[in-house]
Amino acid sequence: MTTSTAPALKPKRSPHFWRNTIEGYLFIGPVVLGLLIWTFGPMVASAYYSLTDYRIISAPEFIGFQNYIDLFTRDRLFIQSLSVTVRYAIMVMFLGQIVSLLIAVLLSQKLPGMSIFRTFFYLPIIVPFVASALLWRYLFNKDYGPINGLLTGIGLPEINWLGSPHSALFSLVIMSVWTGAVTTIIYVAGLQQIPEELHDAAKIDGGNSVQRFFYVTIPMLSPTIFFNVVTGFIAAFQFFVPAFLMTEGGPANSTYFYNLNIYEKAFQWLEMGYASAMAWVIFVIIMIITILLFRISNRWVYYESANES
């Protein structure tokens, strides 16, 4: 670990070994304690609760895997909320990544005035979820909302955005794309790291801008795309506040997100054991998908230098 000392023999530790170790742990102590108290401890507790019937008022009662069995065999809302969340995640992934990438390409052109445009596009990230949820609930309003006002103004039919089970989920996707400027920020940063010479070389070889985008930009950007896909996916599975505020899961449970389901089970019905089991199911699903994403990433993500810094 430290610089090369005599190998084999008895590994002689530096005289400062213990002092360094104690000092090191004093420095990282806060986060070590934090992880134990606020993360790993609760995870163990949560795993235990998920095997119990626990309603807070009385002590947890061990019931084995009954919660998990009930989830998969009895609970229709569980399946529904899982399906809503997965459909949302897929839609927001495709639409969000494409829109963000296109905006980022525009924003990384070297033209005057670009910083003002960046401010415009980045601004939605500072809007609190409560405010953006209430704002978009008003924008989407069927009767007096500005979006329908615009649509009828140009002769198109009104859409019952949040009021119809067919469009409610997609309406939330549109809103999420608007609030998702962090993805754009990270794409812009990624685009700026692509060496200019590569584009110039491709230009000399006669590549037009579309070809350069697909054969230079996309491969060079693939680590950034991969990062945004993984974090965007995990974030999509945390989606909660807008569904809670704008639709309350409706209409006809069409926006009944998984986290809304957990929230209601835990904090309205106080079924802590059951809700913990739900949390573990989604945790395992997220882990599996993340691992799959990492697995298939070897095929398309291009890292210029494989060594870490």
Partner 1 sequence: MSAVSQPTPSIQLYSQQNQAARRKKQVGMGTVYALLIIGSVIFMLPLIIMVATSFKSFNEINSYPPTFFPREWLPSNYPDAWSYQNTNFPRWTLNTLIIILGTLPGVVLTSSLCAYGFARMQFPGRRLWFGLVLASIMLPPQVTLIPLYILFFQLGWLNTFWPLIIPAWFGGGALNIFLLRQFYMQIPKELDEAAIIDGATHLTIWWRIYMPLSRPALVSVTLLTVLQIWNDFLGPLIYLTSPDNYTLALGLNMFQGLFITRNDYIMAISTLMVLPMVVMFIFAQRYIVQGFVTSGLKG
Range 117-176, binding partner 1 (CB under 8 A): 117-132, 134-136, 138-139, 144-146, 149, 152-153
Of the listed pieces 4-12, 62-70, 79-87, 224-232, which binds partner 1 according to CB under 8 A?
Answer: 224-232
Q: Is 213 in the site for partner 1 (CB under 8 A)?
A: no
Burial 115-154 (b: 16+ CB within 10 A, else e): eeebeebbebeeeeeeebbeebbebbbeeebebbeeeeee
Nearer to partner 1, 8 or 126 (CB): 126
Q: Which long-range contacts (CB under 8 A, 24 or more apart) does 221-224 make?
A: 221/187, 221/190, 221/191, 221/194, 222/300, 222/301, 222/302, 223/190, 223/301, 223/302, 223/303, 224/186, 224/187, 224/189, 224/190, 224/191
Q: How far is the CB of 156 from partner 1 (least distance, A)?
A: 14
Residue with tokens 């989830």: 71
Burial class of residue 206 in the structure, from the number of CB atoms within 10 Å of its CB (0-12 exposed, 13-18 middle, 19+ buried):
exposed
Nearer to partner 1, 78 or 237 (CB): 237
Q: Where are the beta strands (DSSP E) in the chain?
A: 52-53, 61-62
**Binding residue count for partner 1, defined by CB under 8 A:** 89
Closer residue to partner 1 (CB): 8 or 59:
59
**Is 286 one of the binding residues for partner 1 (CB under 8 A)?**
yes
Residue 176: how many other CB atoms lie within 10 Å: 21
Name the residue nearer to partner 1 (CB basis): 37 or 90.
37
Q: Could you give the CA distance from residue 171 to residue 167 in angstroms, rounded to a whole number?
A: 6
211 touches partner 1 by CB under 8 A: no
Q: Which of 21, 61, 72, 292 binds partner 1 (CB under 8 A)?
A: 21
Residue with Cβ nearer partner 1 (99 or 218)? 99
Task: Identify residues 180-209 at the interface with partner 1 (CB under 8 A).
Answer: 182, 185-186, 189-190, 209
Q: Rule CB under 8 A: which of 62-101 touch partner 1?
A: none
- Asked if 20 is part of the footprint of partner 1 (rule: CB under 8 A), the reply reads yes
Instruction: Please say which residue, 254 or 259, places its beta carbon nearer to partner 1.
Output: 259
